Structure 1
Amino acid sequence: MANTSSAKKMVRKIAARTEVNRNRRSRMRTFIRKVEEAIASGDQAASQAALKAAQPEIMRAASKGILHKNTASRKVSRLASRVKALGQA
């Protein structure tokens, strides 16, 4: 348990930051899920629209420290390739 006043303040700050990060991560995952659902349905137009909405959310999560930059880029790349393959099939 925190003993000093500065340690108690840090506990409060960390709790608040954790809540913000949890919300950002959840929002990003929701956008990714929408893309995956559109891909599963086979609708390329819907999946492209969902990807266009998800890409800035994923990159925003990277800029805020939720994900590493390369992880975010990899996620976007893999989703984009899946959407592209849907159009070629």
Structure 2
Amino acid sequence: MPNTKSALKNLRKSERRRLRNKSIKSATKTYIKKFLNMLQSGNIDEAREFFLKEVVKKIDMAASKGVFHKNKAARLKSRLYQKLNKALASSQV
């Protein structure tokens, strides 16, 4: 247990932040999984719309809140864009 008032306050703050970060991370992962499932099932146009409107927005929001580092957010988006482009290329052939 914390010994000082400031340590107690820091404990409360870190717990609030942990719960907020966990919630944002979980929501972001859920959106990424939905996107990947759409790609797997072949709904490429629907997946593209969902990705551009929702997934990128969630990842950017998590980065702006400090949940993800900005480089991690860029890496996630880059890898998801690559998967989308690969699926688009294979569907057009």
TM exceeds 0.5?
A: yes
User: Identity over aligned residues, as a percent?
Assistant: 34
Normalised to the residue count of structure 2, the TM-score between the two structures is: 0.89
Aligned length: 89
Cα shift at 1:48: 0.3
C-alpha contact 1:38 1:50 (8 A) present in aligned 2: no
Instruction: Work out the CA distance in 1 between the residues paired with 2:89 and 2:5.
Output: 61
Matched with 1:72 is 73
1:50: how far off? 2.1
Give 4+ residue runs of structure 1 displaced > 6 Å after superposition.
none
Distance (whole Å) between structure 1 residues aligned to residue 47 and residue 86 of structure 2? 11
Two-structure CA RMSD over aligned residues (Å): 1.0
Deviation at 1:66, TM superposition (A): 1.0
Query: Unpaired segments of 5 or more residues in structure 1?
Result: none
Instruction: Give the residue type in structure 1 aligned to 2:71.
Output: N
Instruction: Calculate the TM-score normalised by the size of structure 1.
Output: 0.93
Per-residue displacement from partner, 1:22-45 (whole Å, max 9, x unpaired)? 111111111111111111112211
